[in-house]
Amino acid sequence: MSTVNSEKLSSARFSEATDEFVEIFTASVDFDQRMAQEDIEGSLAHARMLHKIGILTQQELEDIITGLNQISQEIRNGEFNWSIKQEDVHMNIEARLTDLIGTAGKKLHTGRSRNDQVATDIRLYLRKEIDLIKQQLTRLQSALLDLAEQEASTVMPGFTHLQVAQPVTFGHHLMAWFEMLKRDRERLDDCLKRINIMPLGAAALAGTSYPIDRFMTAELLGFSRPSANSLDSVSDRDFAIEFTAAASLIMMHLSRFSEELVLWSSAQFDFIDMPDAFCTGSSIMPQKKNPDVPELVRGKSGRVTGHLISLLMLMKSQPLAYNKDNQEDKEPLFDTVDTLLNCLRAFADMMPHIKTKKDTMRQAARKGFATATDLADYLVRKGMPFRDAHEVVGQAVKLGLDSNRDLADLTLTELKQFSDLIEQDVFDILTLEGSVAARKHIGGTAPETVRAAIKTARAELVSDE
């Protein structure tokens, strides 16, 4: 067994040095240094609180502030020397602070533990990242609204079971994605309520005997309140799991959207033209234009969902309070943030450049007897029971299949053989435009309804910013 001559700040209790492999194995500084600025932010607030309660003198507080600001600048400039010997971001910063200002640096950890420190850092980090995620969500939602407005009257087939069901407008279809992203945004806002609670002051697990002012620290850091139980504060990561669950739902929605973009851009559908900048070619087939961005986003959804499962499994068997297991929370959390931000950015960048093929969409909507339900509704309005109307329309569809014609192409005489209730006005609703225009209630696919929904959505986006 090889050992190292450790210079850890927390090594005094041990009679022999840490095994070299174990030191590397247990260190987290390679990845948790990402939270360095949040760690410094938390330390500055903690120092000001310690000064208020008389633990730090005015000079010591000023030295700590100066030292932490210098460390912050060193990190930004890439000049900070990260050491595995100090295990994590917290001890690295504290060791450097002590090097810079001496004894005052050693006083900073009074009344706190790395347990409540890291829980606070993660919350500060997530709070900042959620703001960035929401900005990308807004960009994507705005791009969807712009495209939906352009395509509010563009007729396309609506599908169930991937079979032509009823005609809808492309604008209406895009607004379905807007609504999904709207709920995703609401989930993030709700998640923030539980993230924005401050664990600092819980110390290792039982609180501290110093007369700390947790409300002051919470106010300085912008938290809504201090946490209510010290054991819970340092031991649970449900707030991170909740965020990852919300991220998984966003990625699931993006994956479904990706699937449609892949289908729509294929030769078999040919509904849209994907922008060249977001596609690649084939190494041997020169005609290929592969929709790599939506395919990759579709694949990355599994990655984020995997992180959610990892975090759930991480927490499920832990006794109170803090355990070293929780060091494993950061890498899946960080990768979830990075993956989600990148996927949202890719979609927000790509959406304004998607070109629709209106004629192809319209021709596709004419296949599969998309206005069959309209004919049934027409007969019901004439007084026929719906089940009888369903039977009549089935007979008309069979005639269309046998003669390879759409319902709108059948003659009035042919239609009247199935019911005398059918008159010339039936052709007003058998056309694709007539079908979508008739659905003008709230939530419907009529162009005027879609435009009204877009107007409302734009107002909501502005108010949320």
Are 8 and 91 within 8 A, CB to CB?
yes
Q: State how beta strands 155-160 and 197-198 pair.
A: unpaired
Active-site choice (11, 224, 266, 282): 282
| Dist. CA 237–CA 435, nearest whole Å | 51
Give me the numbers of helices (H) and strands (E) for the chain, helices first please: 20, 6
**DSSP letters for 128-144:** HHHHHHHHHHHHHHHHH
- Say which amino acid occupies 372: A
Q: Scanning the structure block, which residue is given the tokens 């998984």?
A: 248
| Dist. CA 143–CA 145, nearest whole Å | 5
| Dist. CA 20–CA 2, nearest whole Å | 6
Please say if 161 is a catalytic residue.
yes
Active-site choice (161, 283, 317, 463): 161
| Dist. CA 164–CA 156, nearest whole Å | 10
List beta partners, residue 356: 272
Helices in 273-385 by DSSP H: which ranges? 292-315, 330-350, 358-366, 372-381
Query: Catalytic residues, which ones?
Result: 161, 282
